[in-house]
Amino acid sequence: MNAIYTLKYEEDGVFLEIDTESIANLDRDELMQHLSRKGIYDLREYSVRTLMEIGGVAKIAPEQTEQTYGEDLIVEVLEDESEAVVKLLAPEFDGPYLTLDHARQILADAGVVHGIDKDALDMVIRSRNYDEHFVVAKATPPEDGADGKLIFHFSTDERTGCPVEISEGRVDLRTLDLFVPVTQDQLLVSRTEASEGTPGTTVKGNSINPRPGKETTLPRGRNVSYNFEKTEMYAACPGMVEYVSNSINVSNVYKINGDCDTSVGNIDFDGSVHITGCVRSGYTIKATNGINIGGSVESAQLIAGGNVEVKGGMHGSGKGLIEAGGSVSIMFIEHGAIVAQGPVTVDVSMHSRIETGGTLKATGKRGAIIGGQVAVAGDVVANYLGAISNTKTEITVGVMPKKRERLAAVELELDRLVTEKFKLQQLYSYLAKTRGTLEIDKWTKLHGSWEENRRVNTENIEAYTKELNALKTELTNATDSKVHVFETAFTGSRIVIGSNAFMINDEISYTTFKYDEGEVVYGPCEKSKADVR
């Protein structure tokens, strides 16, 4: 029964009456829903629609028994199946209430099988809030794939140029943050591959495809190498690495356009260092390869694993030092020191210390060695030795002082090893006497220790003996080296060959000093300037 329409079950059929005067207020959808829920079969929909337009009474179905309907659940699934929304319909008087199990079945019949919020559905059933919409199921969204990423294994931050922190807040004012050092085969960049993502599921159980991640590629580069899968980039050489404009470049040459001063600081580089200007006092440049200086060097230190070339000279002030694993070429050196494994070439050396495992040539425009000490494994070739003022100048050829120092150290170590060997022999005698009387575990432990120490002692004695013999042979043959002077060897100069010395008391010109039958002698120069160019 409704204020606007009335449904009557008569013996000759089911009749619908709609009040003509109230027809404007008729909710047509609600009427059709009511007829549907009543379960009327063979419904004459045309008659119903006519009545909804003009009102009145008409038969809408054949005779049948009236059914009382209970609560019902209307299920609406959004077009994209992302949500399922329900509306609880009120029952007729004395109509049955909806159970939770029945509500679940209604959802299943509507195809809603995923993402059901059981608590929300239970609340809808228990609250009896009719004709309101409630979301009772949601789709599981897909997880989009992750994009491929680049992981940098070195700092890509802009260099600060600030002093480097040493420890506990202290900084080294002469060491600045100017480049990122790398070693050969060091991992620079790795790449993570993009993922496909995880599919989602709609409320009807259909799959939702995820967005696959975008792949990325390793940057281009110079002096770099890649693994087979192109997921990792390595440094192909030691040096410094730069990341500029999506390009990674490794350089084994660190170049400074200008002077090495407070704006540059100390340099410790795995590669070569080129400085177009000068190196100011107090700074240290270390390079595993060569060092090239376009200007001069003050009281600084150059330490190279390879060759060192200084276009100007060095004003060492007693603190300047050049160490090279290869050769050294410098215009002049004053109150400084050079220690090189290879040959040394200089125009003028004044009051300096030069040690080289090769030859020393002072054959430039002046070609002079004035004052200081020179120790050369090979020959010395110079225009002048000493000065007219009788400056004390000492030239030693045949072997570097470090060889003599090493010889003394090896002899001392051999003495220690022989003493240790004697003690091991005493321990062996003790073990031989106590075998069978000493506790077996203790005896076994002592014997094992004796065997290991004897093995190490024997190996060390053999190695040091071999080195000692090689050093003695080298020192014995040290008398083959010579000193060639094209112009003048001045008074005050001293020539040492092997263990013999010759003091120059009068100027000698165009001469060669050499070892002969236990003494240092001199005669006409055995070389010409053309021989040493």
Q: Count Cβ atoms within 10 A of the Cβ of residue 426 and give its class: 0-12 exposed, 13-18 middle, 19 or more buried.
A: exposed
pLDDT 10s digits, 196-237: 999 999 999 999 999 999 999 998 988 899 999 889 999 988
Residues 117, 57, single domain; the answer is no
pLDDT at 113: 94
CA–CA dist 194, 176 (Å, integer): 39
pLDDT at 239: 84
Detail the DSSP E strand segments found in 325-343.
328-340
Least confident of 257-271, 324-338, 392-406: 392-406
Residues 78, 117, single domain; the answer is yes
**Within-domain flag for 299:** no
Residues 220, 183, single domain; the answer is yes
Q: At what angle do helices 401-434 and 440-476 cross, to 10 degrees?
A: 150
What total number of domains does the chain contain?
Answer: 4
pLDDT 10s digits, 366-399: 999 999 999 998 899 999 999 999 999 999 998 7
pLDDT 10s digits, 417-432: 999 999 999 999 988 8
pLDDT 10s digits, 338-373: 999 999 999 999 999 999 989 999 988 899 999 999
pLDDT exceeds cutoff 90 at 436? no
CA–CA dist 102, 350 (Å, integer): 109
pLDDT at 159: 55
Q: What mean pLDDT do residues 276-297 have?
A: 93
Domain stops at, among 430, 462, 478: 478
Would you state the structure tokens that stand for residue 467, as one six-digit string?
């080195």
> Is the separation of the CB atoms in 75 and 106 below 8 Å?
yes
pLDDT exceeds cutoff 60 at 296? yes
> How would you write 142-168 as a 3-class SS string?
CEECCCCEEEECCCCCCCCCCEEEEEC
**Within-domain flag for 298:** no
Residues 41, 130, single domain; the answer is no
Confidence of residue 112 (pLDDT cuts 50, 70, 90): very high
pLDDT at 170: 60
Percent of the chain residues past pLDDT 70, beyond the cut: 95
Question: 376-382 contacts: CB < 8 A, separation 24 or more?
Answer: 376/344, 376/400, 376/481, 377/403, 377/478, 377/481, 378/343, 378/481, 379/481, 379/482, 379/483, 379/484, 380/481, 380/482, 380/483, 380/484, 381/484, 381/486, 381/527, 381/532, 382/483, 382/484, 382/485, 382/486
pLDDT at 473: 80
**Within-domain flag for 368:** no
Structural domain containing residue 237: 149-251
pTM here?
0.61
pLDDT at 47: 92
pLDDT at 27: 87
CA–CA dist 280, 298 (Å, integer): 5
